[in-house]
Structure 1
């Protein structure tokens, strides 16, 4: 990763007040060891699961709504910012307008970071907070000092500038809210101007349903369907651990390898149908993958969950009567049942 531009501005605003003040740094911060270290920490926090993805509602900007895409169109040309300090000041001023509408919100530090990775340009806009810490002077005396809070992320945005400029149809925006309350996440989303932001959890649920729909449409036997679902789950788990997006065509490749080219095309056809409208790539939430390999359900008085591989083996379902027959009960449950008989 090569940092090209870096600057930090401060927005002062107290909770319960609408008035906010922008304290803009006149020129860019030097890209020194401290900046590199902070950038790496911010990126590591950002890359944790649960981020949202999307694209600009109006990629080139308009007079109404978010001005962020219009500012990018104005300042980012041929892989470089003409005036990064000027861009960041205008951007911070726009952020302030959304912030002032929310009395409960507080100010903070706006971190702008333009970097290049594998010939692709990215922009981070991150809200950082200050915190009180303890410092140790040269004479070993203790004193209170202000520090940047880097243990957790509040709100952050990453734009794939290369994909945006190339008018890519994919989701070139990724953003996350950390532990920000709902009112903060709402104004931050408005500031971004993102079209129908989707949480990784929602996309993962759609993928799980898509996989089940494909198995059902092809009439796969239970064991074959469960094996395929497990392969999909393992592939998704790997992407989630690597913090990389999953490409739907990769799952189609798994279908082709296990079944046929025709069935792989069928999988992509279902993915593109009105029922799913899957994106070409998605971020996966690991917790949501459990439904691929486990069956579960609950009512007010009963909760049940078991590995789908058990269906047809130790768990038998009678569709006509809507009943389950379970053999080889867990020892702890069996003991409780015997004690009550």
Structure 2
């Protein structure tokens, strides 16, 4: 993971309502194993977070200046100057929002594969202890990556190469409350472009329709479901989107375009790449079964709503039957 530039500033803001004090650094972090570990730990923690938002920049303006500053830096500006200007703006927004939580603000421009990213994160410390060489212990502080709530990652490569994209920025929705999330998102200048959970649900619906349309055998449907979930979870773990053509190839190697073409022909409105929502994926499981002319297949999330299972009697109660099936049954009942 080549790190092009990385710097940390500090916003000291106490809960007593006193004004925030900004401590800026004039020196970037040197390239070292410690810096690489820092960014790697941050990325792992960021990717593990659920509840992300995905979007794009607002048009550059006085209210949303970061994209302009970033553009100037990318075109040959100084990273330290860019980060300092940005953190001053962040401090101002923090004061206006009357939020009491400061912290260390990390800016990092790095490359992963062929893709360039800028990550901005507000980091907090956690109290701990360390064991000294003489086996005594002393208090120590360390960055608490498990408690990151305000962070965003900008895919610089996609922003510059595909300006029509609506998902080159991701940010944590976190647990700090709507007001905190809004001020940080305003700092980034990000507007929501793609609803990750909704897109993931649509993908899973398309997959369920595909399984039905293909009249898959139970074992095949279960295997392909596992492929979809495993691939999507793996993409979420590394912070990458689900790529539909790649997923289609995994689902059916003999007909690698079958699922992709099915999605396009049915017009589900999905982009070629969609953000994977881990919470939605973790809830997805497909139950299937065939016996003596009876074929049943449904998704786990329907249990308790449209489908009820009586464990003692071994029976299912179905609600909201498909209109076409209801019509057939009415005609048969005549």
Q: Same fold (TM over 0.5)?
A: yes
Q: Residue 284 of structure 1: SS of its match in structure 2? A: coil
| Alignment RMSD (CA, Å) | 3.6
- Name the CA distance, whole Å, in 1 between partners of 2:116 and 2:128: 35
- 1:202 has 2:198 as partner: yes
Query: Which of 303, 308, 322 lines up with 1:304 in the alignment?
Result: 308
- Name the CA distance, whole Å, in 2 between partners of 1:284 and 1:160: 16
Aligned ranges 1:227-242 → 2 under 5 Å: 227-228=220-221, 231-242=224-235
- Name the CA distance, whole Å, in 2 between partners of 1:167 and 1:160: 10
Q: Residue 202 of structure 2: SS of its match in structure 1? A: helix
Once the two structures are overlaid, the 10-residue window that deviates more, 148-157 or 259-268, is: 259-268
Q: For residue 88 of structure 1, what is the aligned residue in structure 2? A: 83
Once the two structures are overlaid, the 10-residue window that deviates more, 282-291 or 82-91, is: 282-291
- Name the CA distance, whole Å, in 2 between partners of 1:116 and 1:260: 30
- Unmatched runs of 5 consecutive residues or more in structure 1: 307-312, 324-341
Query: Which of 103, 110, 119 lines up with 1:108 in the alignment?
Result: 103
- Name the CA distance, whole Å, in 1 between partners of 2:154 and 2:71: 13
Preserved contact between residue 52 and residue 174 of structure 1 (Cα < 8 Å): yes
Superimposed CA distance per residue, residues 66-102 of structure 1 (whole angstroms, 9 cap, x where no aligned partner): 221111111112xxx5311101001111212221232
Q: For residue 282 of structure 1, what is the aligned residue in structure 2? A: 274
- Unmatched runs of 5 consecutive residues or more in structure 2: 287-298, 330-334
Query: Which of 118, 122, 127 lines up with 1:127 in the alignment?
Result: 122
Aligned ranges 1:220-299 → 2 under 5 Å: 221=215, 223=216, 227-228=220-221, 231-242=224-235, 243=237, 244-253=240-249, 264-270=260-266, 273=267, 276-289=268-281, 290-291=283-284, 293=286, 294-295=299-300, 296-298=302-304
Q: Residue 125 of structure 1: SS of its match in structure 2? A: strand
- Name the CA distance, whole Å, in 1 between partners of 2:30 and 2:270: 42
How many pairs does the alignment contain? 302
- Name the CA distance, whole Å, in 2 between partners of 1:140 and 1:282: 51
TM-score (norm 1): 0.74
- Name the CA distance, whole Å, in 1 between partners of 2:257 and 2:131: 66
